[in-house]
């Protein structure tokens, strides 16, 4: 009998407490919150301004462009990386495909397009699909790893032969 009461009490407690813990802040659904993080990330890149990007990320951001082996530790290094991206691809554009963020971890799928001005210096346009694996802390991105196929870009701008 005591075991049954304990289990019943635990179930009732879980029904009362868990929804409050799992509920997204500010009346937003989890999907809305996830989309907001991804949309801020996309808007930051599309701003073409390193200074407009910084508020989306924590001060101790770890940002890695895996395809090119570029690693940034902290805001100052990340700002330099972003500035070099905007210089190399001045018409850089990211389009959001899908976002999935839960419990402070997730992915942002995107399409990255632009004209190669400073990376391979070809002046040719390219477009590549990619994904960023992110960790979120206090509503800001604390860690971001970008994955995409750099060979796709290289083929499109003529640095590698077409398949």
Question: Residue 160 and residue 11: Cα distance in Å, rounded?
Answer: 61
Q: Are 37 and 141 in contact (CB under 8 A)?
A: yes
Fold of 26-156: Nuclear Transport Factor 2; Chain: A, (3.10.450)
Q: What is the percent of the chain with per-residue pLDDT over 70, rounded to a whole number?
A: 82
Q: How confident is the model at residue 18 (pLDDT cuts 50, 70, 90)?
A: very low
- What are the extents of the domains in the chain? 26-156
3-state secondary structure of 109: strand
Summarised one tens digit per residue, pLDDT across range 121-163 is 999 999 999 999 999 998 999 999 999 999 999 999 999 998 8
Summarised one tens digit per residue, pLDDT across range 44-73 is 999 999 999 999 999 999 999 999 999 999
């Amino acid at each position: 009998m005591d075991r049954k009461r304990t289990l019943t009490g635990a179930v009732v407690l879980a029904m009362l407490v868990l929804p409050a813990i799992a509920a997204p802040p500010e009346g937003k659904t989890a999907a809305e919150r996830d989309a907001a993080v991804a949309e801020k990330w996309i808007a930051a890149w599309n701003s073409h301004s390193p200074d407009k990007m910084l508020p989306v990320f924590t001060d101790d951001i770890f940002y890695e462009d895996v395809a090119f082996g570029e690693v940034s530790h902290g805001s100052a290094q990340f700002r330099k990386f972003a500035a070099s991206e905007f210089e190399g691809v001045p018409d850089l554009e990211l389009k959001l495909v899908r976002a999935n963020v839960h419990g402070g971890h997730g992915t942002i799928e995107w399409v990255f397009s632009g004209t190669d001005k400073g990376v391979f210096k070809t002046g040719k346009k390219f477009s590549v699909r990619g994904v960023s694996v992110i960790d979120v802390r206090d509503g800001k991105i604390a860690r971001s790893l970008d994955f995409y196929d750099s060979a796709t870009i290289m083929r499109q701008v003529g640095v590698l032969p077409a398949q």
